[in-house]
Amino acid sequence: MRDFEHLRELIPAYVIGATDEDESRMVEAGLTDYPELAEELREFQFLNDALAESVPEMAPPPEMLGQLLTAARGSRPAAHSAPKILPRPAQRQVKISWQLVAACLTLFLVLTNGFWLYRASVPTVKEIVFQGNPEAELIGLRCRIIVSPNSDSAIMIAENFPLLEVGQTYQVWMRRDGEIVSLGMFIVDEAGDGLLSFTADAINQPFDSIGVTIEPLGGSPAPTTPSVVRWTSI
């Protein structure tokens, strides 16, 4: 039987990974002998987490997201299923190329060089909770807009959107002072996700609401269908 008190004294260092190899082995073996040692471990785990969270956020280089997506694509494990091609006639439009997505995001982040520098102090990642019809809420339909306060560009990430029929596109609208303007169009992949880049000015100025409708491919000059989802500015 190992000396409980000695093992207990090693727990704080063990939790932050500071025990030498032989000490770590002793602690791990002791955890099976003494249940109260596991409790001690849990208490210090809280401290370990607090130390981790104490590290200040820092702006990653602007090109990093694009590089990450490229690296991820190159290291996709076998466990990941191949992209699902659903047997549906929709989306004969040009599909989103993820190389293009990565390039767009990279370009966006390069253009918005200061984005990450502001992230720690300014809430630059805006989350828009769409309040649409019950069906939209049921499927967890969601959008978020990433924008830098000193940039010309913004990116909207759409998630869990319903798949489109042939010849359709999603179109994003903004209502400001009673006037409705189009922010652009996007289509979604098999997972229901899509991206749209538009000028940041559009949402940096006060507005009433943003909505997404389904329109004919190529877009419409004004909404022709009810909003799939809508966000009203607070």
Nearer to another protein, 17 or 206 (CB): 17
Which pair of tokens denotes residue 16?
């932050």
Task: Tell me if 210 sits within 8 A of 230, measured CB to CB.
Answer: yes
**Residues engaged in binding another protein (CB under 8 A):** 9-10, 12-13, 15-21, 23, 43-61, 64-65, 67-69, 71-73, 75-77, 79-83, 98, 101-102, 105, 116, 119-120, 125, 127, 129, 140, 142, 144, 146, 157, 159, 189, 191, 193, 195
Shortest distance, position 163 Cβ to another protein, whole Å:
15
Nearer to another protein, 23 or 152 (CB): 23
Nearer to another protein, 100 or 181 (CB): 100
Calculate the CA 216 to chain-centre distance.
28
Shortest distance, position 41 Cβ to another protein, whole Å:
11
Nearer to another protein, 42 or 222 (CB): 42
Shortest distance, position 219 Cβ to another protein, whole Å:
22
What sign has the CA pseudo-torsion 10, 15, 21, 27? positive
Shortest distance, position 21 Cβ to another protein, whole Å:
8
Which residue is listed with tokens 């939209």?
136
d(CA 19, CA 173): 58
d(CA 218, CA 96): 15
Contacts of 140 by beta carbon, 8 Å cutoff, 6+ apart: 159, 160
Nearer to another protein, 48 or 220 (CB): 48
Nearer to another protein, 31 or 180 (CB): 31
Which residue is listed with tokens 């949402």?
203
Shortest distance, position 220 Cβ to another protein, whole Å:
26
Task: Tell me if 102 sits within 8 A of 69, measured CB to CB.
Answer: yes
Residue 196, beta-bridge partner list = 156
Shortest distance, position 215 Cβ to another protein, whole Å:
22
Q: Which helix (H) or strand (E) holds 175?
A: strand 168-176
